[in-house]
Amino acid sequence: MATENAEELVQKYEPMFHKVLITCSIFRNNPDYEDYLQIIRLSFFEKSQQLDLKYTNQLTLMYRFLCWRVRDHQRKQQYQQTLIEKVMHYDLEQEVSMEDRILWEDFLERLWPKLSLGERRFLFARLCLGLSMKQIMGAYKVSRSTVLNWKRKLAERFS
């Protein structure tokens, strides 16, 4: 394995990557197919440094590891979507324009993975939905100090 460079190694096991995606119910018509494939490639390369893939049991471990990585990513996306839907269905006294909502959702999508759960909740509720401090407290059933703490951490992160 040491003689093979990274590109050759990834190409050699590319069929296994596609099998992992099929096992995880991600097919070519899925808009995130290429993203998942890239996650698998990167995970494969990292793990291949630790395993000797000449042995069948090591290859099986690699396959299971890649399936686990994909399912973990799917779980995180599902959790994020559930949280967004929960906040989206909260009744608003004031309506945010669709154009503003789309702009903020795009911004949050790029920023989202770098934030803590509280920071995500605060940003989405405040920027996308236009919720006031009291409405955020009610939506998440948290204290005022918790919401202020989320806001303070965001300010520290971007200052």
pLDDT, tens digit (0-9, with 9 covering 90-100), for 87-120: 555 554 556 667 777 776 776 677 777 888 888 8
Q: What is the pLDDT of residue 21?
A: 95
DSSP H or E run through 95: none
d(CA 48, CA 81): 32
What's the fold here for domain 91-159?
Answer: Arc Repressor Mutant, subunit A (1.10.10)
Q: What is the pLDDT of residue 143?
A: 92
Q: What is the pLDDT of residue 84?
A: 64
Q: Are the CB atoms for 64 and 19 separated by under 8 Å?
A: no
Residue 58's contacts (CB-CB under 8 Å, 6 or more residues apart) are: 51, 52
Domain extents in the chain: 1-89, 91-159
Q: Are the CB atoms for 20 and 67 separated by under 8 Å?
A: yes
Query: What is the amino acid identity at position 87?
Result: V
What is this structure's pTM? 0.55
